[in-house]
Chains A and B, each alone.
Chain A
Amino acid sequence: MSAGLELRNLTHRYTQGSSAALSQLSVEVNPQELVAFLGPSGCGKTTALRIIAGLLRPTSGDVLVDGVSVLAVPPEKRGAAMVFQNPLLFPHMSVAANIGFGLRMRNVRRDQIERRIATALRQVRMEGFEDRRPDELSGGQQQRVALARALVTEPRLLLLDEPLSALDASLRDEMRELVREVQKQGGYTTVFVTHDQEEAVVLADRIALLFDGKLQMYDEPQAFYDRPASRRIAEFFGATNFIRGRVRNGAAETRLGRLNIAGVAPSGDVTLTIRPEAVRLEEGENSFPARITRVTYLGTRISCRLDANGLNLRVAVPPDARVHEGKKVTARLPTESLWALRD
């Protein structure tokens, strides 16, 4: 039932001659996969989602569902149910009528509609709310009903446009788990639009990162931390350690001395990055003297700021490490954790 989705060279301009809201986006989503479209506001992720839903016609490019172009198919026939940032429940209908809406529009038999409404309510843990009016529900409850309303149509594609961003933090975590659970159980092919990288990492099988309408990187969440494709991507995912250098003979000349790097990096200017938790305070390969300038205790770990020959580095060490401000240490950047960025 759930389908594969392919976006092919999708480009969209809202008005003729304006800069592209979406530029040459090509993404493949496997059946039952949850892909997050991630990026800052205005990056084109919602535009892409609206094109998939059929609410917007792309300027050029194609949308394929199970290998068949759906550009000519109107939204109601695409089987792509969408949940928006706001619940957008129909105000003049009860919860049950809202959920049953899609089925009534498809002329599903009455007894079957009722059964499927009951199932959907159970899925989102809202049993007993059938007869409530939307304005009698909290924001979180409304969003659950909106989710149930989309799920009950058994969509080929489930499109979620920042469905959790209007909820407060505690509710958001709970809803995140619910979305993940429901998506896995039902095996819905899902595109989830968000600007929150943490949310994307927690939920998605793969993340498509967009900046300025262009796809920057499409990979599993871990790859955005371990192997970011550019400095901007690394920064978006919270990386702070950047070491400029020049590669010669498989090693980089930097302010910290000569650093060996894994793999074969092309000669020339390079920026090296490393996660704070990968930095070691010990002697060995790629080590150099440094001074601790700031210590912040974070409960499960200690975040330190190092000064090494005028370069600032952030290091995360276990909470039992003996560190204090002003202490002179030796820091080491393990070869396998150093990642060379192009740019």
Chain B
Amino acid sequence: MIVAALVALPFVPLVLWTFAGEWRFPDLLPAEWSLRGIRYLLDPGNGVLGATLISLLVGVSVALASVAVGLPAGMALGGYEWRFKGIVIFFILLPILVPPLASTMGIHLTFIRLGLTDTVLGVFLVHLVPTVPYTAIIMTSIFVERTGELEEVARTLGAGPWQTFLHVTLPAAAPGVAVAGLFAFLISWGQYILTLLIGGGNVVSLPMLLFSAASGNDPVITSALALAFAVPAILALVIALRYLKPLETDRGRGFLGLGKVS
């Protein structure tokens, strides 16, 4: 309960400001209420819906692509022993070790040459830079714990390598895949700098709108945008935690092995 209250507390002024008409110091609550913030969000002229769609589109694609890359990487890193593994892990982690601004400068030049700047595709690609390392690491931790015995059983029962992957490995890894995908989505959803640098102001995602509003002088609009920005992310997290419940009870382990959540 206390945790829930602590999490919810910062949202209270956000919600109040969103619906505030007039709110002067030192009043505890707004003197007047209004739906100006909500109207702003829904007005097509302000581009909030469009930005949300862009953010969703990029976020979901990034999540899917990161999982598609991270799953085989995690299988290779977690499931098998081979030479130079340490070096490969280092290279996979490099994008989150190097400051993104530094690497994105180089990426920017390359993308200009490839004509990928100012495009949604370019933004999608550059979002993969910070997300793939995380998904690969999460997947690795899943496959380290797996012994491969379930797969061996499947093989002796007559399943080929692909059938085994499809019917045994993938379902067993599903909760981890969901977590990794969610992380990738959230990282992409909250991305500002990379979107700004590669999108060049032409690709307008929710954080872009939020930043420009925050540097403006209208707390109602800023709060409304912040809510629009936070709610989908929180929803995604809640859904994912629900989905992960079986993992918790089956193996007696909590969320990502960090202990019980909630």
Contact = CB atoms under 8 A, between A and B. Distances in A.
Given A91-B250, A92-B172, A135-B250, A86 B159 contact: no
Given A88-B150, A135-B250, A101 B157 contact: yes
A84 B158 contact: no
Closest 5 CB pairs of A and B: A102-B157, A82-B156, A75-B155, A105-B159, A92-B171
B156 A80 contact: yes
Nearest to A146: B153
B160 interface: yes
Nearest to B149: A88
Interface string A67-78: 000000011111
A53 B156 contact: yes
Nearest to B249: A135
Interface SS of chain B = helix
Interface of B: 149-150, 152-161, 163, 167-168, 171-172, 174, 250
A32 B154 CA distance: 24
Contacts of B156: 53-55, 75-76, 78, 80-82, 150, 159
B172 A76 contact: no
Given A76-B159, A84-B149, 18 more contacts: A54-B155, A74-B155, A74-B161, A76-B156, A76-B157, A76-B160, A76-B163, A77-B158, A82-B152, A82-B156, A84-B153, A90-B167, A102-B158, A105-B159, A105-B160, A105-B163, A150-B156, A150-B157
Contacts of A77: 158
17 contacts: A74-B155, A74-B160, A74-B161, A75-B155, A76-B158, A77-B158, A78-B156, A81-B156, A82-B152, A90-B154, A90-B168, A91-B250, A92-B172, A105-B157, A150-B156, A153-B157, A153-B158
A27 B82 CA distance: 34
Q: Which of B153, B155, B156 has the most CB of A within 10 A?
A: B156
Nearest to A103: B158
B250 A76 contact: no
A55 B150 contact: no
B80 to A, nearest CB: 15
Nearest to A150: B157
B172 A91 contact: yes
Interface of A: 53-55, 74-82, 84, 86, 88, 90-92, 101-102, 105-106, 135, 149-150, 153, 159
A81 B172 contact: no
Contacts of B152: 53, 55, 75, 82, 84
B30 to A, nearest CB: 51
B12 to A, nearest CB: 41
Given A90-B168, A91-B172, A92-B171, A101 B159 contact: yes
Contact of A105 (B150, B158, B172, B250): B158
A135 B171 CA distance: 16
Contacts of B150: 88, 90
A102 B161 CA distance: 13
A82 B172 contact: no
Contacts of B160: 74, 76, 105
Contact of A86 (B149, B155, B168, B172): B149
Contacts of B153: 82, 84, 88
A75 B168 CA distance: 16
A79 B168 CA distance: 19
Contacts of B158: 76-77, 79, 102, 105-106, 153
A52 to B, nearest CB: 10
Contact of A149 (B157, B168, B171): B157
Nearest to A99: B157
Contacts of A86: 149
Contacts of B171: 90, 92
A78 B167 CA distance: 20
A47 to B, nearest CB: 14
Nearest to A75: B155
Nearest to B156: A82
A279 to B, nearest CB: 47
